């Protein structure tokens, strides 16, 4: 018997969090290569610490994207986030680039040749998930956590609340009754702030964002709202703690409400199924829920390096569905080619669209006119309903 009454918590981190700074830099470099050549291969990792950034990884793409260009992209990313502090400044940070050519052994497994289709960039398992807890068909705890920080960041960038610094974290705990979220029991927000502000000052600045993010009547008791509980958060970002690409994979996905295959997204071009197949799995799961075939849906895909077809497709509607899951899996295979090439073409992934996804979640976002977040479309709904006579 599944637990129906419980508390569940998810966290988010802002674009200025040290790990997210690295994700932003890595995705900026992916976009630079794809803007120059849609067939570029990119796997770039970033390390950030006090006034220092290190780039490493493997690429295959146009010579126009030089090491100097990559360094400049890193500086632009740091500037756009808003770091102009003594310990981490876009102008003065020392940036090293150790990116080199992609291994020919990897390339021969991934490239198409003759009768061989484009293979997966690596082995692995990828999960997608959707549920009807929010309008975005995302788990409510992670979606509310993102809402708080995105709104705070927007007002920091606009100059409305210049007292906020770039680095911040949020955490929302919800109470579930009969399997549905009904109220928040606690909220935590820690934000970097200008020197001289008291804890009370920060509390007054942050409270409106919590109130706006939660549904009416869901606010927790006052003593369960924790804002900068250490009392001071002036030193932040990579100056306060080192950052690495790919360390916030649960923040990037479903806040722990669904399984995770373990692979990070940022810094990888869409031939890497860690990224593209996770997007495809979310796309399929979201369309299943949007079509009313289930209240919750988890999809798993599995791949082998150099092999174009997925090794497996698993569908689980968590006893909330009204269709046969085996048939649903067959229908999904018919509606979407789940080879790496098929995913890229169906979702138009070979475009410079990834920088915006590097913070506040890769899922639960709105598709954009330039093709960003195409995996959030619900354009399979009519076909799914037709397949099941819904």
Q: How far is CA 151 from the centre of its chain?
A: 17
Does the annotation list 15 as a binding residue? no
Identify the active-site residue in 268, 286, 346, 365: 268
**E strands of the chain, at which residues?**
6-13, 41-49, 52-60, 84-85, 88-89, 94-101, 124-131, 164-177, 180-193, 225-227, 243-244, 296-303, 312-316
Does the annotation list 17 as a binding residue? yes
How many residues comprise the chain? 390
Identify the active-site residue in 41, 73, 193, 247: 247
Instruction: Please indicate whether residue 169 is annotated as part of the active site.
Output: yes
Does the annotation list 247 as a binding residue? yes
Angstrom distance (rounded) from CA 229 to CA 225: 9
Instruction: Please indicate whether residue 337 is annotated as part of the active site.
Output: no
Identify the active-site residue in 24, 156, 169, 346: 169
Q: Smallest Cα–Cα separation from 281: which of 250, 308, 260?
A: 260
Does the annotation list 286 as a binding residue? no
Does the annotation list 58 as a binding residue? yes
Identify the active-site residue in 38, 72, 241, 330: 241
Angstrom distance (rounded) from CA 223 to CA 327: 49
Does the annotation list 232 as a binding residue? yes
Does the annotation list 351 as a binding residue? no
Does the annotation list 45 as a binding residue? yes
Instruction: Please indicate whether residue 309 is annotated as part of the active site.
Output: no
Instruction: Please indicate whether residue 32 is annotated as part of the active site.
Output: no
Identify the active-site residue in 133, 136, 252, 274: 274
Buried b (16+ CB within 10 A) or exposed e, 108-141: ebbbeeeeeebbbbbebbbbbbbbbbbebbbbbb
Does the annotation list 84 as a binding residue? no
Angstrom distance (rounded) from CA 110 to CA 5: 46
- Give CA angle at 125 (124, 127), nearest 5°: 150
Does the annotation list 376 as a binding residue? no
Instruction: Please indicate whether residue 17 is annotated as part of the active site.
Output: yes
Identify the active-site residue in 8, 164, 233, 265: 233
Instruction: Please indicate whether residue 248 is annotated as part of the active site.
Output: yes
Instruction: Please indicate whether residue 146 is annotated as part of the active site.
Output: no
- Which residues sit in the known binding site for L-methionine? 58, 102, 241, 272
- What residue numbers does the annotated binding site cover? 17, 19, 45, 58, 102, 167-169, 232-233, 241, 247-248, 264, 268, 272
- Binding site residue list for ATP: 17, 167-169, 232-233, 241, 247-248, 264, 268
Would you name the residues annotated as active-site residues? 17, 19-20, 45, 58, 169, 233, 241-242, 247-248, 268, 272, 274
Known binding residues for K(+) are: 45
């Amino acid at each position: 018997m599944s637990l129906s009454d419980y508390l569940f918590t998810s966290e988010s981190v802002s674009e200025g969090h040290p790990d997210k700074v690295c994700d932003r830099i890595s995705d900026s470099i992916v976009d630079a290569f794809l803007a120059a050549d849609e067939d570029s291969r990119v796997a770039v990792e970033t390390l950030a610490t006090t006034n220092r950034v290190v780039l490493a990884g493997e690429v295959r793409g146009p010579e126009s994207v030089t090491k100097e260009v990559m360094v400049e992209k890193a500086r632009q990313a740091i500037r756009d986030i808003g770091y102009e502090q003594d310990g981490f400044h876009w102008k003065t940070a020392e940036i090293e680039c150790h990116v080199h050519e992609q291994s020919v052994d990897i390339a021969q497994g991934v490239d198409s040749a003759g009768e061989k289709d484009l293979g997966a960039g690596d082995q692995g398992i990828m999960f997608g998930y959707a549920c009807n807890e929010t309008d975005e068909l995302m788990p409510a705890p992670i979606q509310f956590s993102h809402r708080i920080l995105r709104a705070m960041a927007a007002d920091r960038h606009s100059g409305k609340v210049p007292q906020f610094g770039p680095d911040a974290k949020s955490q929302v705990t919800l109470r579930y009754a009969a399997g549905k979220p009904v109220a928040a029991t606690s909220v935590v927000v820690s934000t970097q702030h200008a020197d001289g502000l008291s804890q009370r000052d920060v509390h007054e600045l942050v409270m409106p964002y919590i109130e706006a993010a939660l549904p009416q009547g869901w606010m927790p008791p006052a003593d369960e709202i924790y804002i900068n509980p250490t009392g001071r958060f002036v030193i932040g970002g990579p100056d306060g703690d080192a950052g690495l690409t790919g360390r916030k994979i649960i923040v990037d996905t479903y806040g722990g409400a669904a399984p995770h295959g373990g692979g990070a997204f940022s810094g990888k071009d869409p031939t890497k199924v860690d990224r593209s197949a996770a997007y495809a799995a979310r796309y399929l799961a979201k369309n299943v829920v949007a079509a009313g075939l289930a209240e919750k849906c988890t999809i798993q895909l599995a791949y082998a390096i150099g092999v174009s077809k997925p090794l497996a497709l698993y569908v689980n509607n968590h006893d909330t569905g009204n269709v046969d899951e085996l048939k649903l899996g067959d229908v999904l295979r018919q509606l979407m080619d789940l080879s790496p090439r098929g995913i890229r073409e169906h979702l138009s992934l070979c475009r410079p669209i990834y920088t915006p996804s590097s913070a506040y979640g890769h899922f639960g976002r709105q598709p954009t006119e330039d093709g960003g977040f195409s995996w959030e479309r619900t354009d399979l709904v009519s076909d799914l309903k037709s397949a099941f006579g819904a």
